[in-house]
Structure 1
């Protein structure tokens, strides 16, 4: 067995390219860093300040994809700040800091602002940016996640989307609350996170106001505009349950609703596993075009219509709502930690299947273990350090789920629940790392778990049958029966990775 120092050495070797690079030290005077220090995506986020709230006043015209907006950002300087960056792809027209005009320049996704005077460390400041543009034409280095549709637009993406509709600090470490007001032509709907606080109409335009009161990562803030059937009901725990289905779903509307309308039931099930639901609203959105994946937008996941082409699909609803705990409430500290998000979301599908008699988690483990022969490139991607190019690789999802089942088989159900619930509670509205998760698992189990995590997260190749690493002998059977849940889970995963 590899001892603790052995596993840390493995992690260090695997992740040498993903070392966190800290921004300027707090208390030093100077410009904030133009990145948050994430080695997978060095340009994401910024240093020197911490955002607490975004107020977005937007006006969007579907006919020509023109967006204009005013973003008011409430932030605290974390150093004596002489200049700072905002991540932004559209054209800034003016910037004010604490009400005073500020100098600014733009290059790529960096909007660099020089305030009239240094912002002292600890000072709460407001940044007001007026802007406009055509998001669908705002390509940056050949990339553009904004989707223009026949009746509106989708501002939905991972790991980045916010820069194409509002300026901000685009990294999961800097979470904030949101007020989003979207003005669109009468007869057009606009949906975002949280709750719809009011709507108002004037001179042929309707303004939709949405409020999101829990800390949210920038990429999990979303906006959908178009022709939608919006419904607000009471969901689990008496919370608002808001859904939006495209008017153009046609025959897919039935299976989409048969899936998404079970969200309160799914959330209640997941609460029994993970502890208290972390947010104050629930829901789901299904557009009819432009989206090839599902994304766990906070309080309101969005699902491609493709998930419902052959039948209803509750597995994808389980997956995206599990992310409300793992990914949304507890987010990645750097994008190398993505395995925790996707492993838990995928394993939750197995647990749902186990609870509903369509295949135990062990049967599903055996199936996916045997679906990939030893020479399959699948086993060459390390979930614990997949690299920026493989952040959404199948191995991060499916081998990630196998990792959690292996851990469960070694520590037992009671300890596994304790690990899971403690992780969700202790890191609520914050971030977590792989190393912290491993430490917690060892603390709760009283076991050294090097062999489990080293085998599944940091070693290339198909793991051999080894109970100490969580691989039961049943996984090596020559003919493994296919659990009924596999068809639905596979349909869910067919599009989950297509970011």
Structure 2
């Protein structure tokens, strides 16, 4: 909080100086314009916004599962990337009570999922600013464009949160685009006996007047779809890898005894998985890892939330390996457009096959052979992997055709070049969004071969490619 207060003073100082600037500079300042209400994604144009870059979200959440009542404050520290007369944040189905920009009350409107803010003073390009939003309401069970539960999913004993692709706006005001990463801090208050878990590291936990407050911090830049808070009747366990990386797991007390035992057995393999993947992909990219295993099976999926994947039931070993691999591919190296989701899922699927090879239960070649055994007449092949469309974002082809393509690339350019590509890909800066075209360019540079035909046949054509 101290850093944010210092930043606020600096912002207010700049803003006061800039009020008199036009008279002195005779129109030398750019004319303020409204920021875009779109992040520019082809599939989800209403998600995300333009004109600024978020640096940090400080979220204070007070939640009562029995009534689904959420009272919250979001402090958003950002930098203007253009001179703004107004800007937008994404926020759905929750009501803003009060909003300030740089300490001054600001006008705002809520229409659909857009919170449009008009500050008293224009925000100048290149300067930081702080937005404080007090908001709340009754949470529900929101659905994505395919009808699947996502975002803040409410249950009688807590909440299961899985934001992908653009569900973060169901619980806090956000620039909900993967291109705008930020650091996070969370202060979560829930009824005593309920546990709250978030990304990153647990700083403190205290109980007063029948309510427990947990403070978490995530210091690594994170895309909004990977942010999470889960609340429930969890038992917390801790461990470390051989190199000292902390692992924190939260397992729902409501799981059956059989599921608890199976979960414990699988999660005990996380340190070995991390060590193994580091030999393939490079150093684990974040400061912690772990899992949240819930009993909310109607959600029906797992999600690779940064540092703390969440599972809607007892996970199997392959699924844990998959979500761990996403920490490199998807979480650190992050897509810029949702059409490139195979860069997340295809890589994580290939990692499953690598882990299976390590344990003697599977292999990349076996995974490739399985995919290639699917008949050409199957609808599986009609989904273009690198542009599946918003309704097929999580189609089987995104995962398995994407994974099989990586093996086809390996067979084409050879092991030495392939592993150089993989390690260099995983080492890309976390703040630079990636695309399929970037992977093609890297693969051609490393291998010295022209690969556009291979990429096109495997990733863009709605037909079964020829075997390699």
* TM-score when normalising by structure 2: 0.90
Aligned residue among 266, 278, 285 for 2:273: 266
For residue 152 of structure 1, report the CA deviation from its aligned partner: 1.0
For residue 303 of structure 1, report the CA deviation from its aligned partner: 1.3
2 CA distance for matches of 1:126 and 1:136? 29
Q: In the alignment, which residue of structure 1 is the partner of 2:16?
A: none
Answer whether contact 1:292 1:306 (CA < 8 A) is retained. no
For residue 320 of structure 1, report the CA deviation from its aligned partner: 0.4
Q: In the alignment, which residue of structure 1 is the partner of 2:18?
A: none
Answer whether contact 1:62 1:152 (CA < 8 A) is retained. yes
Q: In the alignment, which residue of structure 2 is the partner of 1:61?
A: 64
1:33 aligns with 2:36: yes
Aligned residue among 240, 259, 284 for 1:252: 259
1:355 aligns with 2:358: yes
Listed as ranges, the matches of 1:417-436 within 5 Å are: 417-436=419-438
For residue 233 of structure 1, report the CA deviation from its aligned partner: 2.2
Q: In the alignment, which residue of structure 2 is the partner of 1:295?
A: 303
Q: In the alignment, which residue of structure 2 is the partner of 1:23?
A: none
1 CA distance for matches of 2:62 and 2:428? 39
Unmatched 5+ stretches in structure 2? 1-28
Q: In the alignment, which residue of structure 2 is the partner of 1:44?
A: 47
For residue 268 of structure 1, report the CA deviation from its aligned partner: 1.1
For residue 140 of structure 1, report the CA deviation from its aligned partner: 9.5
For residue 441 of structure 1, report the CA deviation from its aligned partner: 0.3
Answer whether contact 1:235 1:282 (CA < 8 A) is retained. no
Q: Secondary structure at the match of 2:386?
A: coil
1 CA distance for matches of 2:148 and 2:34? 27
1 CA distance for matches of 2:432 and 2:245? 22
Q: Which runs of 4+ in 1 moved over 3 A?
A: 137-144
Listed as ranges, the matches of 1:94-493 within 5 Å are: 94-136=98-140, 145=150, 146-250=152-256, 251-289=258-296, 290-305=298-313, 307=315, 313-370=316-373, 372-465=374-467, 471=468
1 CA distance for matches of 2:148 and 2:192? 32
For residue 237 of structure 1, report the CA deviation from its aligned partner: 2.6
For residue 202 of structure 1, report the CA deviation from its aligned partner: 1.5
Answer whether contact 1:192 1:223 (CA < 8 A) is retained. yes
Answer whether contact 2:53 2:79 (CA < 8 A) is retained. yes
Q: Secondary structure at the match of 1:320?
A: helix
For residue 286 of structure 1, report the CA deviation from its aligned partner: 0.4
CA deviation profile, 1:186-241 (whole Å, cap 9, x unmatched): 11100000010001121111101110000001110011111000112223531221
Answer whether contact 1:28 1:79 (CA < 8 A) is retained. no
Distance 1:139 1:82, change over 3 A: farther
2 CA distance for matches of 1:281 and 1:175? 18
CA deviation profile, 1:300-349 (whole Å, cap 9, x unmatched): 11112154xxxxx2111110011001110111111011111111000011
Distance 1:460 1:139, change over 3 A: closer
Q: In the alignment, which residue of structure 1 is the partner of 2:14?
A: none
1 CA distance for matches of 2:73 and 2:136? 9
* TM-score when normalising by structure 1: 0.84
Q: Secondary structure at the match of 1:305?
A: coil
1 CA distance for matches of 2:431 and 2:228? 18
CA deviation profile, 1:244-286 (whole Å, cap 9, x unmatched): 0000111201111111221111111111111111100010110
For residue 138 of structure 1, report the CA deviation from its aligned partner: 6.9
CA deviation profile, 1:142-181 (whole Å, cap 9, x unmatched): 9863322231111223112211111010000000001101
Q: Secondary structure at the match of 2:122?
A: coil
For residue 414 of structure 1, report the CA deviation from its aligned partner: 1.3
Over aligned residue pairs, what C-alpha RMSD do you find? 1.7
Q: Secondary structure at the match of 1:116?
A: coil
Q: In the alignment, which residue of structure 2 is the partner of 1:88?
A: 91
Answer whether contact 2:177 2:223 (CA < 8 A) is retained. yes
Distance 1:338 1:209, change over 3 A: same
Answer whether contact 2:367 2:404 (CA < 8 A) is retained. no
1 CA distance for matches of 2:144 and 2:466? 44
1 CA distance for matches of 2:159 and 2:34? 35
2 CA distance for matches of 1:382 and 1:143? 22
Q: How many equivalent pairs are there?
A: 435
Unmatched 5+ stretches in structure 1? 1-25, 308-312, 466-470, 472-499
Q: Secondary structure at the match of 1:328?
A: coil
Q: In the alignment, which residue of structure 2 is the partner of 1:9?
A: none
For residue 52 of structure 1, report the CA deviation from its aligned partner: 0.5
Answer whether contact 1:193 1:221 (CA < 8 A) is retained. yes
For residue 368 of structure 1, report the CA deviation from its aligned partner: 2.3
